[in-house]
Structure 1
Amino acid sequence: MQYLYIATVFAGALVCLLASLLLFVRRKTGERSRVILAVIVFFSVYNYITRFIALCQGDVPEFVVSAKMLLQANFMVIAYIVYPIEVILPGWLNFRRIVKLYAPWLFLLCIYLISLWTGVQYTPYRSLLEMFAHADRFEVWFRLVLSLLIFSPGLVVFFIHRTRHFRNSDHVWMRKYLLTFSVNVFAYILVLMFNHPILHVLYYYVSVGCSLFIVYMELFDRLIGKPIATTTIGEKNTQQEKIATGAADVSLPFEKYAIEQKNAVLVNRLETYMKENSAWRDPDLSLNTLASELFTNRTTLAQAMRENGYENYTHYINRLRIDDFVQQIESEQSENFQEAFFAAGFRSRGTALRNFRQFAGMTPSEYFQKKDTGIEKNTAGGILT
């Protein structure tokens, strides 16, 4: 049984290492969630390797109900909650929010360190069943609390706000992930309760299997290879004509589609944010600020803008400001051009005029005079009704 246990631990470390490397290699075809999942799986490799080395040297590995191992288990459980949060709300997580998620764990870690500093001795029990008879001791009930908390982070996923703009997975994926996560946690609790060698071996098979299934869902079930959901009749006919003439690729590469899908979601979020907040009216608005508000980085946001037909951020924001300026003049919200320019977010009249000429090819006076003349002619000719 000992040799089977050692071989199982080594195999688990090897499989998780390969899965982590695969996620890292394919990170550019997905989102930041792949990098997060790769780090989580690699952390499992570290745990397996340290236990494998201890077993090969004839040492007794750390008992699973030790305070150190339970703290480590809680750390991993929270990590497996960070991943689905990133999937559902891509870009929402930052350093401050991750620290908040880990705040309860950090608090428990501080309690553990203080207890060691004050001289608390942690008895090396082999299972939770052995500990129940001594539940009146601090070092026992502290570990019982840590064992119960392994279940709690899974509830966080149910409260993640899902919206049309941030939705990057479906309920089927979420149910499968939660089921896999729950199976892994339940198997670990059985090991904590009984600490039998056979249970240890079975747990490693279950744990590695759950990790591989989550990796599979990330690589092949959630983003890669999904068909385009909506295609208009005109697009379909054009696509068929290109295929018939050999002018188009019959199959769209998975990597290209995944990037386009990601940028489409980001552009949707960008347009919604700009319309709801009239953010272009802030003269201090920058690409970095806008990227922070959208929970992404400036490089990804700039790329999404270019794919949406804008040369760069400046071109995009000035286009919105010019449209706002025109709308203000036409609706008579501003008394003169200068007031409308400043209200639209321009810092100076000269910058506004230069940008207006770039977009309209004429000055504002010429633009509105030509527009008014065109309306009068159309009205006189009976074209407009």
Structure 2
Amino acid sequence: MLQKTLYFIFIIAFLFSCTSNTETKEIVSTPKEETTNYDNQITQINDVANRYLDLGRFSGTLLIAQNDSIIFNKSYGLADYKTVKEFTDSTAFKVGHLSELFTEAIIRDMTEQDLLKLNEKVTTYIPQIKQDFTVEELLNHKSNLQTIAQIQESNSNKAYSLIDYVNLSKSNNQENKVTETQSELDYNILGLIIEKITNKTFSEVLEDYAQKWNLESTYLQKTDTTHLAIGYLFYNYRNQGLKITPSPKYQDSMAFSSRGIKSTAKDVLKFANNFENQSFDVEGYLMNDGFSYSLKKDTEKQQTILILSNRKHPVAREMSESIEKILDNEEYELPLLRQEIAINPSLLKEYEGVYAMNENMNLTFVAERDSLFVVMGENKVELKPQSENQFFMNESDASIRFERDENNKVSKAILLDGFLTGNTILKVEE
């Protein structure tokens, strides 16, 4: 139970992670001279991808385009670890929030055809919705709707129905407080509007637009899922040690036009290139479906970096930022490997103390027998040193890095999940 409890606490912390110091012992310099064949950069990009693969955080396809030409396109790991199926150019991924880009493009094209107006109330198209917001507010996530998870928390016995959940969100949000997260209901409603106007299913409409955009393998639903990658988690499954485990499946009706689209790396690039003067910067992961992704298209640099992964770790953006630094001939960082090293035991005493995760929960660290332990109640778990100030747990894929203040005194720690950044917890007691 301790292992499960600790893992749960760390994961909860990561869900609310914030940007923090990124000091790490592995900082890599890129040669400053300009290159025309990208040989040096490609070697370092491979290093980045393989490091995250080795850590169990990434498995998927990495595609980089410069000046409309693909300069890097490579896959790592497997699309299906049970059948040992490798990735190919036709391997489709669940692209999560990237689905919104496709849905928005369809909506905007329909406005150009005068099929709908952005400033019209949603009730014009779906009168069953008892809400007062416009199509444009949905596009910009300004509806103030709660997320599906927030609604389910208050209505655990209520089966998902889009219109019912939208109306439930109204009653749950009577004070009109702005929600901190973007609701997937916004774009699911847009998908329903598309269906009402076209008299087609969203899947059929997406197929029509995929042909228009010259996309070969972009879809919402297919009977044949042969080319769809399997989503995976990497965690301590039933206390049997860290293992790659197929993730639970996200309900298709909930994913719909906000999270439900599947696509290949080359199709996503084609889609982005259809909008020549538009930059994209989208990243995220599917909490319940084992996929993560990052699309960064910079029109000024004429550069696109796309990462599609069948692992549920939100490291795609972190990888993308390192790759961008490599392409710009700047220093970049690699997360530390999960390898135990020998350190001076006297350092451990400096890390001892109580650290506040929030006002109701603390973590306590103690040094005993030349080892550092994290304590909860009567139970404790040993931490293994990766560097002089960073430690990992055998029981989960989480790590923790201790950091010092301007007086060289340990004052805080960063909860990591194999990342370079994470959630900061302050030391409150020695």
- The TM-score by the shorter chain falls in which range? under 0.3
Larger radius of gyration, structure 1 or 2?
1
Relative contact order, higher structure (CA 8 A, sep 6+): 2
**TM-score with structure 1 setting the length:** 0.24
Please identify which structure carries the higher helix content: 1
More strand by share: 2
